[in-house]
A and B are shown apart, each in its own frame.
Chain A
Amino acid sequence: MNKGGLLAVFIFAVTILLVVAGTRWPVPSAAAYAGGGQVSRTASSPEAAVSNLCDRIRAHAWDDAYNSLANKARFSALDFQHDLNGTYPGLLTYTNLDSFEMQPLHASASDAEIRLRLKWATVVGPSVTTRQLRVVRNGDRWQVEWPITSQPTLAPEVIPVNYLRWDVIDRGAGDDWGMQNVDAPHVRIVDMHPVQRAEGTVILGELLNDDIYPAYVAVTATLLRKDQTPIATEGSFDKISHVLLPKQVTPFLILFPDVTLADVGSVRMTPFSSLIAASADPVIEIQSQHMSPAPDASLSGQLVNQSGQVANVAHVLAAFYDSTGQVVWIADQYVDRALLPQTPTPFDIHIPEDLARKIASERTVVASYSFGGTES
């Protein structure tokens, strides 16, 4: 073979080798697109079987994921999908699986148990669900037995609805000057307390709608140095219930990342309110609230939708008080399942361990959202 021929063979060979290497050990950016790192493995181990299942869930390949299960005969593919994403639209319905973690609990030659943490990237923040999986050996491969949980469904029923609703007609642009408008609702901050946390300075407080109409509310805070120059301005964003019915109180939390409380001379609070069209429904009861002590301190309970309509996304905000009644922390959780009428749905809000011991009481509020409508 002449020199040119050798060169051609060399180029072919090196190209093929490089492609093989790139496929067997993808570079990070390629691995990210390939679903986490490697070519889809054969399910030669319990971890590989779970990992393959998660890759399929991440890729929304529901049928493939379902077909890989050992116990698929006990439920349908739709049941499996609803178990993961909910029967009714909720936070997880249109969400992608961001990552997952496996913790082997037990393993033998024929079966294994693995605790699986699925981290979903929901629009309001990460949401974690945990499942304990049994993985069984089937010939030369392992298969996951999915612990299906049946999802509640609503029986056909007619529920008469008779709830309060407020609409707002603002003055138009063409109205005369001096024409009377309806005043913004009167709101007031009934508690405010800055604390230093590892992530920065945090302003905790509570806001009351002191009016007779529903109010859209927001709170911004400006931290001032001792010489009264501003350090930073931040808002409550989603750490507040933005719609308050008359005499309703919401906790709020404003985070100033990387600001030290010692540098703060004073805080300027600016509550904002405006009239808003709103309804008094749905009424959501917070049942069986229970504080678990540290470690793993948390506030758990169940939400019961007292209304006839589905609340697709619920946001639970809890204010924690010390024995003197001062707010010491505010925490929240988005419930990733839709709240069906009269169907208890659990929630569990984590409490920082260093604060858990100080907490003597708590108060919880719930805000909810329904797709295609405006809720409170």
Chain B
Amino acid sequence: MQNSESNTWMQRSIPISLVLMTALAVHLPLLLLMLPLKSYDTNLHIFFASHYAHHWFDPWNTKWYAGFTQTTYPPLPQQWVALISPLLGLDLGYMAIQLIAILLLAVGVYRFSLLWVSPRAASFAALASVFLGSESFLVYSAGQLPTTFAAPIYLNALPFLFEWVRFRSWSSFFKAIALFTAAAAAHHFTLLFGSFFFAIPVLALAFRDRADGQSVTMRACAMRTILIVAVVSVAIAVVLLPFWIALFRYPVTQTPIPHPSRANYILNPEWGLNYFVIPYGAMILALPYIIVRGSTFARLRPLLFGFWIAFLIGLGGTTPVGHWLLGRAFDVLTMERFSYWATLLALPIVGMMASELVGRFRATAAFALSILAAGTCAAAVGWVTWHPNDAQDFKVNEVAAWLNRDGHDSYRYVTLGFGNKLSRLSTLTDAGSVDGEWNSGRRLPELTHYGVGALTSSKYFGEAGLDSLRAMLRHADYYGLKWVIVRDHYYDPLLWFAGWRPVDSLDDKTITIWSKDGVPPATAVNSSQIPPRWQGLMWGTLPFGSSVIAIFLLLIPARKRHRVRHEYPFPVNEEDLAPGRLAS
């Protein structure tokens, strides 16, 4: 009897509430430990949020690059962090928004998977999203809040797109528009590439399913598609208008910066581990299944093609596909987000596999899958400790305090050997720097002509990096660059021969402050790039407003619609075959 009950339980869908509880149980403690603060980009997003917290309607940030506009980066998640920062502080605010993104992802994966597989398989997919290696990698190692914030919004929008194109549901039309716009306001690349990897398979599915049940003509589907694409395009154009203006006025023509995600993972196994093994984790074992099942079941083929292309691009320089398809963008984008999207696209099929395995092997499969999922998640979370982005962990508070006192902040500074602590320092200090970590926002020729990242890590970019640093130091008087804050004595000879002198040391003499005599106080140097006031008002209103509208629209209950019954490849139990409701 007991055994029978247990088996019944094994054949049911996992309630989405349980999935959300699992997500909370796994990620809340990790986020409360502030683990993302060790990642590459978390401090960058906190730095942006810090600016919004102080200057919501003024995107001109004077703390980096002698002044740059934050309209070069969609603002939504950072503005949300800024909004709740008075209550929780910036760090905890960031963690709260990140947690919401993780929870939204579980819901989004569930709803997206329902388009392709049974509710039971979809629930497994949702549960798998909690342990997804690529998600943990992006959250705890890469710190890509916008990507992990935009993807769930986008996934949640896709079922509405399907419902609109397939069933002409006006409620879904508006919800889809609101969510797509909010997703774009969170991360423009997600929307741009998501259209190819996610939306096209969903549209293909809608077109494919048009004859089932409530049939609809091809022409009607096409017209609906065109209409929603047009409206979403206009909405995004308006909401992110300052972004487009900045992009067209100052197109990204910088020399590409090398990034290890574009390496060949076989020739450079250390990066293969970082960008393939860790993000995919145990899903690597499922790759044959994903391809075989995705191929053999015709309905899943659009999803399989989306996954395959994202997978190949996500392999970086391991295959020439990214280079062929993306062209110059291949040398500008980082590839880990493609692996992230590939894993999201694979989740419905992985959910189906899990459903089958648990249906067939019961507790044994459940146990094995749990171990694999937990191991994948743990490896991705632990990766930031085993393979730290910044080998030398140190606090920058003392440096910030030094810059903030005795008028030191009248001059600009540059750090050397600070890695990604630069964003943290910039958040804490009032002084401005000529350096920064948001490469697309910089306009100074000393930084854009050499194909290097932040000056603080210039030695890692070889001769080009050092040329860039020398060019900047050469123009120190022009930029009011008086302080060079050094945590790597490699740079000392250059500073010495270029006329800087050590004037102070901090943090138990591990940090030296070098100064140059005769440097005039910093003045505005690129004020022609300051966005006009109306752009500031738009930037402070529309992107954030789009998310508020999306939330309100989602609160409007949808009409229940019975989904057409589909034949799933392995109807291992009744649940898989039962017609379900498309979640909304």
Contacts and interface: CB of A to CB of B under 8 A. Distances in A.
Is chain B in direct contact with chain A in the complex (CB below 8 A)?
A: yes
Interface string B290-307: 011011111001001000
Contacts, number: 167
A119 B498 CA distance: 22
Contacts of A173: 406
A200 to B, nearest CB: 13
Given A30-B316, A367-B497, A233 B477 contact: yes
B262 A29 contact: yes
A371 B308 CA distance: 53
Contact of B463 (A28, A126, A240): A126
Interface in B465-519: 466, 470, 473-474, 476-478, 489-494, 496-499, 501-502, 516-518
B319 interface: yes
A34 interface: yes
A369 B492 contact: yes
Contacts of B263: 29-30, 33-34
Contacts of B312: 15, 18
B455 to A, nearest CB: 13
A11 B291 contact: yes
Given A5-B295, A29-B330, A33-B268, A276 B501 contact: yes
A164 interface: no
B524 to A, nearest CB: 17
Interface string A336-369: 0000000000000000000000000000000101
Contact of B459 (A39, A119, A123): A123
B463 A29 contact: no
Interface in A234-280: 234-235, 237-238, 240, 242, 272, 274, 276
Contacts of A234: 474
B391 to A, nearest CB: 15
A29 B331 contact: yes
A7 B312 CA distance: 16
Contacts of B318: 19, 22-23, 30
Nearest to B460: A96
B466 A19 contact: no
A112 interface: no
Contacts of B497: 124, 238, 242, 313, 315, 334, 367, 369
Interface string A1-27: 010111110011001001101110111
A146 B493 CA distance: 30
A149 B489 CA distance: 28
B474 A216 contact: no
B295 A313 contact: no
B15 interface: no
A218 B259 CA distance: 38
B168 interface: no
Contact of A371 (B267, B331, B477, B492): B492
B204 to A, nearest CB: 15
B499 A216 contact: yes
A19 B315 contact: yes
Contact of A123 (B320, B406, B491, B516): B491
Nearest to A126: B463
A306 interface: no
B450 to A, nearest CB: 12
Contacts of B553: none
Nearest to B335: A29
Given A19-B318, A124-B493, A30 B498 contact: no
17 contacts: A6-B295, A7-B301, A11-B295, A15-B308, A18-B312, A18-B321, A19-B319, A27-B317, A29-B331, A30-B268, A121-B463, A123-B494, A124-B493, A216-B501, A233-B478, A272-B518, A369-B496
7 pairs of A and B residues whose beta carbons are closest in the complex: A30-B317, A4-B296, A33-B263, A8-B295, A18-B319, A7-B295, A121-B463
Interface of A: 2, 4-8, 11-12, 15, 18-19, 21-23, 25-34, 39, 91, 94, 96, 98, 119, 121-126, 173, 216, 218, 220, 233-235, 237-238, 240, 242, 272, 274, 276, 312-313, 315, 334, 367, 369, 371-372, 374-375
